[in-house]
Amino acid sequence: AYQADVATVLRNGCFSILPATELVPGDIVEVGVGCKVPADMRMVEMLSHQLRVDQAILTGESCSVAKELDSTSAMNAVYQDKTNILFSGTVVVAGRARAVVIGVGSNTAMGSIRDAMLRTEDEATPLKKKLDEFGTFLAKVIAGICILVWVVNIGHFRDPSHGGFLRGAIHYFKVAVALAVAAIPEGLPAVVTTCLALGTKRMARLNAIVRSLPSVETLGCTTVICSDKTGTLTTNMMSVSKVCVVRSVHQRPITDEYSISGTTFAPDGFIYDASENQLEFPPQSPCLLHIAMCSALCNESTLQYNPDKKSYEKIGESTEVALRVLVEKVGLPGFDSMPSALNMLTKHERASYCNHYWENQFRKISVLDFSRDRKMMSVLCSRKQQEIMFSKGAPESVMARCTHILCNDDGSSVPLTMDIRNELEARFQSFAGKDTLRCLALALKRMPEGQQSLSYADEANLTFIGLVGMLDPPRDEVHSAIHSCMSAGIRVIVVTGDNKSTAESLCRQIGAFEHLDDFTGYSYTASEFEGLPPLERANALRRMVLFSRVEPSHKKMLVEALQSHNEVVAMTGDGVNDAPALKKADIGIAMGSGTAVAKSASDMVLADDNFATIVAAVAEGRAIYNNTKQFIRYMISSNIGEVVCIFVAAVLGMPDTLVPVQLLWVNLVTDGLPATAIGFNKPDGNIMAVKPRKR
């Protein structure tokens, strides 16, 4: 499912479609939009202005990566930094290119993940280890007592009542066996299994689907949760969160800033001004109206509703889909009843109603695709014999081509002065720096009537419309869930392939850093961590909160390092890249919306993709352990009485008090059923206020 079936490969002087399994290193392969990369390849020729590849399956990061012919000079470059390499299983989302095959099968990045999974051995759960230790201890004690009883009674072997020495020896051997039967809690395996099964049923009600029965209890003693960022702590749905426009050049401050609610691709959300007042009719703002217009037309993505999954899904770039959603939140001009009218639409219609309005109002004539040197794209549109070019791209590139700005107070266009430019650049730096938002600038230009094509020279003398900032937003419930984990003595380490600054901003939002201002010693990139001496690395493991810029091998390395320090590690993830770490962890937790590979490597699946469900599952795991401990004590107390009764009778030479069949009945039935009832005990009220027990 994750590998390409066919490839367009150069053979005998011409390109032909062949099975991907026939590729060998040295083959020249051509890839285009929608193609799965059939092997690990190095770029040799660009056939379009740009090539963008979705590497989420490999890195877990939702943003596509722009590829280029030049190799990176960075030492220890991670997959995201290897911009001249196409990785097997990733998907081309824009452009065309040719590349030479450098690795197939196990010699690819995806192959290394598969090999890492195969090499990983299943670890025994803490409960299984404790039960094994208890069983070993019990066996030694029972063996010692049985031998002692037999040896103590050697003098009674010749008792005439036994009918001879040999029969006497056999009689006391039977007594020793009865003693062993009395000491062994035969009902323990059945009761433990029943208790775990009951816990599995309760967890299923919490949307935690248990795939491995022994792992039910493991969460209860978890000391560290290593959580993947994208898709686990965040929604994995790029969303516009802030918009900046120029209000007026005649009053200070000259800019207006809007915040947008909503953290998914669903077109449900509101726009708020700087005073946090909701805008009743956003299209009445000239800049917001033109931002919606530009976002709908200068866009090559699609937003649609999936009735099977009951969610909105993207086709194309996440950033472009975020702009599509913004258009729906802004609404349409000229209708005071528009907000309520939109709510009457079906979910399928609502997905693109406003976008379709603008696409019907304008006729798209020509497109200038995005290129790495320009860092922008433009589209020429026509409406009522009026031609307009809409542009979007990197703020520094778009603003460098702007000579005018659109004012939000009256919709007028005024010259872009150096003071205004400096203030807009400061706002951009705030968005990209402090807020770590991914920023795009939008602009337009009135074109001569009848123009039918665009050239790069047309991208000059633009009118600046506004600046939009977007991010992959954190899930609403994550902040309180992390606080609950900390209260329970569980450390949360955020693991991501994203940039360090972006990840630190998210950790600050979700409360992972608590009230820290200086993240030194708490935040490490994979290369920084690998470069630490052993002693400093051990100290880093005790304090680490963020592990960024990681590859699949780094995630597994982190799990192994924590386990070597006697930590019980839970690992969450949703992608193929998470699979080796999920399998290596004491308990692997996959998201319900994750890949089949991640689910197969996990011990538990969160059906609702909710990090907070882990907290509820931890409480359930602790309750299961407490109940297990209680019914073991109950069963052993009964067994001790049986052992003492038989041992005293044997030492004193008294007749058998209990025969083995009676002992089995007591252990399996009389003790087993009450012990099973203990498994229904509800958890203590303070169960999440105590520290996790040691491994």
The answer, yes or no, to whether the previous bond of 253 is cis (omega within 30 of 0) is yes
- The answer to whether the beta carbons of residues 422 and 364 sit under 8 Å apart is no
> What percent of the chain is helix, strand and coil (3-state, nearest 5)?
45, 25, 35
- C-alpha 111/C-alpha 670 separation (Å) is 55
- Nearby residues of 397 by Cβ (< 8 Å), 6 or more positions away: 374, 375, 376, 441
Residue for token pair 């005439």: 160
- C-alpha 565/C-alpha 109 separation (Å) is 29
Is 256 catalytic? The answer is no
Reduce the DSSP state of residue 549 to 3 states and report it: coil
427-461 burial code (b ≥16 CB/10 A, e <16) = bbebbbeeebbbbbbbbbbebeeeeeebeeebbee
- C-alpha 62/C-alpha 455 separation (Å) is 31
| DSSP state letters, 409-422 | TT--EEE--HHHHH
The count of other CB atoms within 10 Å of the CB of residue 69 is 14
- C-alpha 574/C-alpha 594 separation (Å) is 4
- The answer to whether the beta carbons of residues 354 and 296 sit under 8 Å apart is yes
Q: What is the DSSP letter of 459?
A: S
Which of 228, 498, 574, 603 is the catalytic position? 228
Catalytic residue numbers read 228
